Amino acid sequence: MYIETKKRSLLKAISWRIFATTTTTIIVYIFFKRLDLAIAAGAVESVAKIIIYFIHERLWNKIKIGKKKIEPFVLWFTGLPKSGKTTIADAVFEKLKKYDYIPIERIDSKDIRDLIPEIGFDRESRNIHLKRVGILIKRLQKNHTSVVASFVSPYKETRDCLRDMTENFVEIYVKASIETCMKRDKKGVYKEAMEGKRKNFTGVSDDYDEPENPDLVLDTERLSVEESSQKVVDLVRKRFIS
């Protein structure tokens, strides 16, 4: 998807003005056979239309008809470890950054864990940790900033709490079987969990409450990263932009 830049729009406006003024000059010359009159008419027309267009634009800026405010939203990616949450969320973030009228931030579980390394992985600690994330998102949304967030967030009650805490919460279930996630695991964290070296590991020694009614399901065993990320962008466009 290509987004037109401001530079391109400016160049188009200039080229159109040159083309239109030249056309006016030629028409006047054809009718009156006077080059001096044709050039004068083209110059006057160009200045007059620039002034008129400026006034026209300023007036339209005061008119609210046809304007739509894009409310800040949160795209919450949940799924088993190594299901593909971070990769897809990163791709979605890069796509949405191209819409310069949507202020947006990216939050990933690893980044937050690095900031608060002492937090545990038991159920209570996870719930406290994610509520802190919810507070952070609320503050970002108050500043009209949308968020792309990727967290395992294994418990239904936590995700429900986050939905209540934030505005326009979109739950995206990144689906993959344990077997597939283990195949993708290059660091061997699943193996360590099965050997008992990692406690409270989701999918092995801790539960994962599969979302019952997510806003979107991305089956990463069937869809590529590009296909998955585009589905999310399409949902955003349909729900919040168009």
* pLDDT tens sequence across 96-150: 999 888 999 999 998 888 887 778 899 999 999 999 999 999 999 999 999 999 9
Which pLDDT belongs to residue 115? 80
Which residues, given as ranges, of the chain have pLDDT below 70? 1-6, 9-10, 54, 57-58, 60-61, 63-68
Which among 153, 177, 205, 242 is annotated as catalytic?
Answer: 153
Exposed, middle or buried by CB within 10 Å (0-12, 13-18, 19+), for 90? middle
Indicate if 153 belongs to the active site. Answer: yes
d(CA 37, CA 39): 6
Distance of alpha carbon 156 from the chain centroid: 24
**pLDDT for 185:** 95
- Does some domain include residue 69? no
Tell me, yes or no, whether 112 and 149 share the same domain.
Answer: yes
pTM over 0.95: no
The predicted structure's pLDDT at residue 158: 96
Q: How far apart are CA 40 and CA 42, in angstroms?
A: 5
CA atoms within 13 A on the CB side of 46: 19
Amino acid identity, position 203: G
User: What is the domain-level CATH number for residue 191?
Assistant: 3.40.50.300
The structure tokens 């801790």 sit at: 206
Spatial CA neighbour of 231 closest among 211, 221, 217, 213: 217
pLDDT of residue 118: 72
Domain shared by 118 and 150, yes or no: yes
Question: For residue 6, what pLDDT is reported?
Answer: 61
Same domain, 140 and 218: yes
137 and 209 share one domain: yes
Number of domains observed in the structure of the chain:
2
Q: Is 209 left (phi over 0), alpha (psi -120 to 50) or beta?
A: beta
Instruction: Provide the domain limits for residue 21.
Output: 6-61
